[in-house]
């Protein structure tokens, strides 16, 4: 069960982090190259769809990482500590998202793309800056999770 659980936790978390990296590195830079109205339409649609779906993905990843940390206890040292640190970083990313990114995302999702509010481009730039910081935190969380899982497998094999 441990290996299967670890694979599921790593897969869910890894694909979520990969999605966020893709948004930061590929999707949003391409959106900025579009004309104003098309950009507003695409940004509004993406903000709406991802704003509905991502909270569940984040919550699932956090639950799975916490479960993996308890599976690899003790939490005070070794692999349990690494995985718990991954959970803490993901929790920080969630709190940061709710406090900073979600309000901006909601404004963009609710705007009329034909008549966007005056500061929508500033909102998008601010969201992108915050998102890049979140991607760094998420990547660190994923690295800690994978390091803990791999380290545990190495210890178990020896």
Interval 119-146: pLDDT, tens: 999 999 999 999 999 999 999 999 999 9
Show the tokens assigned to 45: 């649609």
Contact, 113 vs 122, CB < 8 A? no
Whole-number pLDDT of residue 6: 96
* Each residue's pLDDT tens digit, 84-127: 999 999 999 999 999 999 999 999 999 999 999 999 999 999 99
Q: What is the dihedral of CA 88, 91, 93, 94, to 10 degrees?
A: 180
Residues 6+ apart with CB under 8 A from 147: 82
Which three-class secondary structure state does DSSP give residue 77?
A: coil
Q: pLDDT at residue 157 above 90?
A: no
d(CA 71, CA 80): 8
pTM above 0.85, yes or no: yes
């Amino acid at each position: 069960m441990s290996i299967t659980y670890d694979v599921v936790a790593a897969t869910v978390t890894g694909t979520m982090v990969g999605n966020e990296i893709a948004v930061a590195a590929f999707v949003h830079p391409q959106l900025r190259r579009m004309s104003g109205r098309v950009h507003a339409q695409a940004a509004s649609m993406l903000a709406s769809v991802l704003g509905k779906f991502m909270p569940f993905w984040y919550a699932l990843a956090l639950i799975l990482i916490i479960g993996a940390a308890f599976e690899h206890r003790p939490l005070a040292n070794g692999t349990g500590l690494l995985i718990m640190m991954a959970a803490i970083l993901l929790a920080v990313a969630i709190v940061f998202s709710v406090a900073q990114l979600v309000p901006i995302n909601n404004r963009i999702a609710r705007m009329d793309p034909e008549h966007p509010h005056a500061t929508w481009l500033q909102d998008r730039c601010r969201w992108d800056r915050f998102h890049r910081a979140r991607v760094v935190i998420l990547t660190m969380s994923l690295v800690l999770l994978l390091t803990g899982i791999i380290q545990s497998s190495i210890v178990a094999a020896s």
